[in-house]
A and B are shown apart, each in its own frame.
Chain A
Amino acid sequence: MLTTIAKRLLTSVITLLVCSVLIFGYRYLIPGGPAADITNLAELGTSMTKAQAARQVQALSVRFGLKKPIYVQYWNWLDGVFHGHLGTSFFSQAPVTTVIGQRMAPSFELIIGALLVSLLVGVPLGMYTAIRRDRAIGRTLLAISGLQISVPDFWLATINAAVFGLALHWFPAVGYQPLSAGLGPNLHTMILPILTLSIVPTAFVIRHLNNSMTQVLRSPYVRTCWAMGLPSRQVYFNCALRNAVGPIITLIPLLVASLLGGTVLVEYIFNIPGLGTAIVTAVENQDYPMTQGLVLLAGVIVAVFNLLADLTISVIDPRVRKGSARISDVGWRFGARRAQPAIGLAAVAEVREPAAVREDVV
């Protein structure tokens, strides 16, 4: 077990290193640069000559260390990362870690909240639709979850804010109360965003669990349970669920990745000062240290969830526990590992669901 964890941990570190190269490298895809941007901004307010502007771009580039060779820049950044320094923002001059610290709470609350809702609603419904797969009720619920997946969340967020916030006044349409203001006021502002964000993941959980549970319910060992006269409650919960839950556990890191992307929009629409809004501003401003720091954080979060998912699976399934090599088989099978290197980028690009998941559902 210990070697399994060690091996798996090593994979995570390698993945994150690859991820960091991608994160660092992708800035070259964006035209212009922070120095030019800042200068342009400054130019608007003052009367700066072209020559002055060019000089300022030069000066800023030197100050930001952008004149050094790219690998030196990368190494300096990575060195900082290992020492816990993610650099300082080009714009606000605030350390990136400080900004993350300030912005983390609302985003984490959104993500964890939406994840919990999707599991608490999705697991029972996924089981139910599988058990009742031959009945109208099961098929109807499954069809609804299919619609749910195709709901665009920017649309849903806007509609929710308008209907429940502006028209019905059940919840505030926009705004955020931190947890420090008390759980009640905090939840009052967060319930609508969390529910909005959880719609699509809930549907994913339902459909994945329905799929795996249906397979498990057709399996010979479940038939044995019936043939030995086990009560249906025991067949479903003690016997089948444990076998069917594997794909859901590997789905969780993917959901976290897609939720990270989802927060960008939801935070924007509900005006919540979280990581999502921070990332948008950072990308718009070409604030390299800020963007890199935030995306790396997203990568780390997803990697941690991936690691936890793999370890949980090895606890649940003795076949995985015995041979550590099998862990990666399971990972591949459920398409979790495949998506990992791309996840940092995916979070920014706001890819709603990684391709691997989509294949499974179709």
Chain B
Amino acid sequence: MKKIVGAVSWIAASAPWCLTAQEKPQNLDSIPVLTRESYGTPESQLGLLQGSVDALRSGASSPEKLKGRLRVTGGSWRMDVFGDGSGAEFLDTAASARAHGLGADPARLMSVATLESTGRAYVERSLSRLIVLPPNERLVLATTARRSEGGMAPDGSNAYSAVVANRAVFSREINGIPVTGAGSKVTVTFLNDGTVESFRYDWPKYTVSQRVQRMAPPAEIMRRLQRVVGLRTQRDLSQPVETPPSIASITQPIRLGSYVVLQDLKCGYYDPGFMNRDAAAPVQAGCYYHVVETRGEGEFVTTAAYSGAVPAAIAPEPDARWPEACVILGTKVKEEPKGKAAGYGTKVQPVPPRPTPAPPR
């Protein structure tokens, strides 16, 4: 295995910090730390949605405040606006119920290009007041996904397979730097007839702070990855590993140690998403990873899969809700209550019978 020493470019890119949206940065040495700016209120964001999304214009209930979200419902749809309004999810249950009937042969999938253009068109038409892109940002296709169905009779007959929904996920680049993690994502899901089944976005408003982070060299990021994953897998991953010239986006597997493989790595700003972030925490440089470890042999091979992000700045700032940052900075992570052993300290009671189902209405 080749050991590469010395610093190489962190992102295969960089130049002056302020670039036009289409320019690619090269040899980036430092990036400014971002902070999140409040959108105001979820009510104001809901108002924007109701003025933009056709389905929300009629039959909506009064907004209902729930824990961490504001909800309106219609005859067959539900719209949740999360937190301060930077995230939301729409689901049309009637469309979802039609998905099966519109199933398509997997060989006749909606192409990625069509899915991207259809998704972009929807975002521009219906969500442009929510998915705001300053001049230095651009919307980029992050991934696509398909929801498939299949089935068969117990004798193996009548087997079928169909794609029932198609999903486009967009993210954003800020001055050419991608945002990794669950934050800064817009997902639109289409049935095969083009109906929007659902959309969900997590689109915080970022502000450039006065603080600048110097980027760690790729070899250091790989060492951090080994350290973090070594802790998670409880394996010694201290041996030298291959460090590619650019680690902005690794898509080919790299062995981190015996039985432990890095599947992919994507570097940029790291935002874990509204479900996991501390809104007051800085948005800083990070590399999102997928790692798998295998144990066992023959017929009994178990795969353990890990995802997360390692800080990519030489001196990352504290973020109590970023476990890998806590490891790198030496901060203790809170322990969780464990499951007990069955039968110990448990008052054994008879299992109650299941209630009689209510008659259909």
| A, B: real partners | no
